[in-house]
Structure 1
């Protein structure tokens, strides 16, 4: 059949109202999460999500409207429920090269509901219940037909009195999260969105995963009804008006997964559900993919890469600290003051450090003229540029300024990843979308910005006062769904000062997960640290075998433990304006093993440290004092018997 986009409108609407009959129910393996498919009347359907813990059942999301508006056929009336497939178990173990956990498990229960309309056109709804949440997606069977999707009607009903942490959407995803108790504000909201039920028995985080070439990215809006957070396509003005707002899909087709991570706060933070439901790796040989830590000159000197001597100083910093990488940011093509790009690369390589390099994504979708601009824009451009980079020994590219999540931009992201892999070049994105599970599919995608990070100390005085609370919110929101290039751990000041303590800043090296971790301070900021803190930053990993939330509350404080091999690392920060004593419980440690604890916490004021060395085991507890806006970091190493 010839592919075409017809003028006839296909509308698949599953609406919500009074419940007459329950049709389908699926329960998670641990029996805590229950998803139910209900029928209001003939042809009208919706989902309900419940959570059961300790014998108590909580109605987490009372209704999720479902629906798609497409071309070719009418699904708006008389939608006939054909059957529900047999419930089946999803069992898949996989390994991540980087992230919060090495060994992951895609383990849940799935059921498929089959529907057809009066014209016998079919649509399926795939529903999964996991121990840590829910995922569902739409499916059109058939082949060799193209539909234009004009709207998706999926909408999550969130009653007032549900606490929520939401970020107003902007295409670069660099806003601040606001805490609200109701839906009074009606806005465009960014992913991920965090909620807590009124009785606090269950937390849930709404996101999407496995967005691919056959769709666009989306956001949430609650304009029509403040309690309904509807999935919404990008705005026309995104990407300076380039690209189509409405995606075109080719049958057979599955939508991105609509994901609800749920459970305790620890379940949220530790979840890998976004990666679990995403496509497996397409990279067979991954030996060339090497996560690591990089020095970065832009935060302390916005024109640092234009200066050969500055570039050399940051290469020296990486070599001195044992970090694998240094990043050449914008203006590398205009480098002067003693050398050019080739000179800088020779020097960097002589130190045993590997260079990374920045590019403007180019094209009419970005208003930024910073060069080099168009070298990533087309397949031909990329193949030529990647071949040059390979010869120069450059191992990774940072590509900036996408500013859109339309289908054409999703394709552009994936084009870059696929072409870079041909030359064994790692990639990370800035001015971009937040993670959608691509780090599983494309493990050479090391990190994303999509966050208001330390760079904002250059942009305005705002982060000076908001950073403590913001930093204590990100582990429960943005960093849950994937790597986050916040560019942390600064002790000196950029254009605008920070008021977080040195202990707080040191802890970010553990709390903020990124497979390419850019340490943003100037060299003297690290050279002048006391030995314990400097040694910690020389050895702290940035990929993890396991992650555990020990304690915390969004915006107030976070205490997290991460494992690498036999060692554990702890980061704790406070986002509040008063001192706090944190009780550390080490019950997560292996039994019958003693560990050497090196604790680096706040000193007598916010620019000093207190260092303690203790022996602990899994029965130990200690108290740690945090200054206002303070923090601490720790390393636990098993002692030989």
Structure 2
């Protein structure tokens, strides 16, 4: 297939037949229009209505075996999937290769943002921009021996027109693995299946297998002449399965306190847990998250049962989320000490565990250590979501693949990690912090648009990890809470920071930012440099802006080394025309802005703007801007 900005090569090779060549096109039939109309409990657009023209092309291979190609198109999105209809042969089929290849048109000013694939332990925790290179990679440059993960972002030019291209996938039913980009050369972007060694070499085969009928996931390209088409796109949930939850009344997005970021050993200390329960209560946050090894909590050497923790939280009006190891066979649960473990893999044990946790006041699970893209892992996670929905439990997934629209099918799914998150400030040996501002911006263009991000924004403390310090300003960290969508907004910093150091206006905003937006509007930005978005909920408008432009990062990754130097960036000034974006501000405002030469924000309450609605924004190096306005 030929498009203005790319050529697409199609084809599937099954173990029992070749559907990549010598195909006979029988006919293509226009199937009318596909209307997707649904509601989400959180995210960039809570009431979604999307329409796609649809067509099916019918092929026959040289052995007279059929394959269908389903095609969808909207103003900004093109999607396709392969479908194998019912056959009299009821044995399972195996796909040994998917030849789907995207040849993105190259141009003089093109670039790509690709995340090196961290196989065979896929957690999608690598940086889009190499540390030792301040220049964006051109389309086709290969610098990862294991390929690259999806989603993928490209910029190119054709016929004097700019094109921003976003490649992703959706529509998983548990019968196909997560794909990534193979280690190809040139501009050929070829899809590949997981490494057989992923999931500890367990979790079944790395290649897809199923009985017929069988549809692959949708391969989706979103295209625009600006990045607005990508940032505002809803195709990942549009083309996902509709909701299967019989009751979602128990799903309550909210803010959570969390001790692990500032004290990784704190979850075994009941006194620490009490302090974070009190923090949540004092800030009117509904949740506290107990992380790894929470089941080993003690006080004065005596183990504290979950029932006691629940009683303490309930007395303060706070509800519990708890960490759970996903293993199973997919990670080293047999040798690691972090628990609880070995309680989710077997269906009967999983369901009983969920029932017991629910009976002890737990409302959500953080399922960690997933680390596999294989088909059996996809099926396993969908089973967890289904059983959790039956038990009335919410879920976030950690150390896992990025989102694929499952939050539409199972609205109790509130977040995925599958990205570089604020945990990367907690490394004692390696200075990842220097790369974070730039990566925050890149994630806003590549990762955040496809679904919820378990990032835990709001890292204000500067001295907790001297070798991996937080270089961003308070305004940058506040703005991330607006930019990033998640049904569970986990705030990671210390009790002291939130109760004594951070501005009360920032704390008020962090507790009030909506979870479900009526609309999201991309205002301005450039990958690797800065990002600005507006989000509306009713008559309230929030602006979030971050500056990540980085001119220098030390090649020395250990901040304690004599030749290490802190990262350097540049300030940025912007003028935002809210009127042109469709908004008229005339009510009260809260503004969190950078102070010159300081990480501390200038937080103010004002009467709002009238007239031109021109907002002037100054961002310090690695700074930001966050604001709340009342609309006319």
Fold shared, TM-score > 0.5 on shorter chain: yes
| The one of 555, 565, 573 aligned to 2:528 | 555
2:572 matches 1:580: yes
Contact 1:360 1:373 in 2 (8 A): yes
The aligned counterpart of 1:112 is 56
Shift of 1:145: 4.2
Contact 1:590 1:618 in 2 (8 A): no
The aligned counterpart of 2:97 is 151
The aligned counterpart of 1:165 is 113
Partners of 2:582 and 2:61 in 1: CA distance: 57
Partners of 2:189 and 2:237 in 1: CA distance: 23
Cα gap change, 1:473 to 1:108, in 2 (>3 Å):
same
Q: Matched residue of 1:628: which SS?
A: coil
| The one of 495, 502, 507 aligned to 1:534 | 507
Per-residue Cα deviation, 1:67-125 (whole angstroms, up to 9, x for no partner): 11113334455321101112511122111111110111231111111111233211111
Contact 1:330 1:359 in 2 (8 A): yes
Partners of 1:365 and 1:465 in 2: CA distance: 32
| The one of 419, 429, 442 aligned to 2:410 | 442
The aligned counterpart of 1:5 is none
The aligned counterpart of 2:75 is 131
Shift of 1:440: 0.8
2:283 matches 1:290: no
The aligned counterpart of 2:343 is 375
Shift of 1:458: 1.5
The aligned counterpart of 2:541 is 568
- Which deviates more from structure 2 when the two are superposed, residues 302-311 or residues 138-147? 138-147
Cα gap change, 1:230 to 1:591, in 2 (>3 Å):
closer
Partners of 1:536 and 1:605 in 2: CA distance: 23
| The one of 292, 299, 304 aligned to 1:330 | 292
Partners of 1:485 and 1:64 in 2: CA distance: 33
Shift of 1:562: 1.0
Partners of 2:631 and 2:258 in 1: CA distance: 33
Per-residue Cα deviation, 1:130-172 (whole angstroms, up to 9, x for no partner): 1221110001111434211111110111244431111101100
| The one of 602, 615, 621 aligned to 1:628 | 621
Contact 1:308 1:340 in 2 (8 A): no
The aligned counterpart of 2:566 is none
The aligned counterpart of 1:468 is 437
Per-residue Cα deviation, 1:231-288 (whole angstroms, up to 9, x for no partner): 1000011111112111212211111000111112011001001111111110132111
Partners of 1:75 and 1:133 in 2: CA distance: 25
Contact 1:60 1:202 in 2 (8 A): yes
2:449 matches 1:480: yes
Q: Matched residue of 2:382: which SS?
A: helix
The aligned counterpart of 1:347 is 312
RMSD: 1.7
Alignment of 1:209-358 (within 5 A): 209-223=170-184, 225-242=185-202, 243-263=204-224, 264-337=226-299, 339-358=304-323
Shift of 1:182: 3.2
Contact 1:97 1:443 in 2 (8 A): yes
Contact 1:591 1:617 in 2 (8 A): no
Contact 1:395 1:426 in 2 (8 A): yes
Partners of 2:17 and 2:99 in 1: CA distance: 16
- Which deviates more from structure 2 when the two are superposed, residues 243-252 or residues 388-397? 243-252
Contact 2:583 2:631 in 1 (8 A): no
2:399 matches 1:431: yes
Shift of 1:590: 6.2
Cα gap change, 1:622 to 1:77, in 2 (>3 Å):
closer
Cα gap change, 1:506 to 1:77, in 2 (>3 Å):
closer
Cα gap change, 1:222 to 1:515, in 2 (>3 Å):
same
Structure 1 unpaired stretches of 5+: 1-46, 50-58
Q: Matched residue of 1:84: which SS?
A: strand
Q: Matched residue of 1:462: which SS?
A: coil
Cα gap change, 1:95 to 1:387, in 2 (>3 Å):
same
Partners of 2:244 and 2:612 in 1: CA distance: 44
Instruction: Tell me the TM-score normalized by structure 2.
Output: 0.89
Contact 2:459 2:477 in 1 (8 A): yes
Shift of 1:589: 7.0
The aligned counterpart of 2:474 is 502
Contact 1:589 1:617 in 2 (8 A): no
The aligned counterpart of 1:190 is 149
| The one of 595, 598, 608 aligned to 2:590 | 598
Partners of 1:227 and 1:375 in 2: CA distance: 45
The aligned counterpart of 1:6 is none
| The one of 157, 164, 170 aligned to 1:203 | 164
The aligned counterpart of 1:544 is 517
Shift of 1:405: 0.8
Cα gap change, 1:463 to 1:606, in 2 (>3 Å):
farther
Partners of 1:335 and 1:591 in 2: CA distance: 50
Partners of 2:520 and 2:584 in 1: CA distance: 21
Partners of 2:587 and 2:480 in 1: CA distance: 22
Partners of 1:413 and 1:591 in 2: CA distance: 41
Cα gap change, 1:591 to 1:532, in 2 (>3 Å):
closer
The aligned counterpart of 2:563 is none
Partners of 2:197 and 2:630 in 1: CA distance: 52
How many pairs align? 582
The aligned counterpart of 2:331 is 366
| The one of 100, 104, 126 aligned to 1:175 | 126
Instruction: Tell me the TM-score normalized by structure 1.
Output: 0.88
Shift of 1:310: 0.6
Partners of 2:616 and 2:584 in 1: CA distance: 22
- Which deviates more from structure 2 when the two are superposed, residues 399-408 or residues 600-609? 600-609
Q: Matched residue of 2:506: which SS?
A: helix
Partners of 2:273 and 2:526 in 1: CA distance: 40
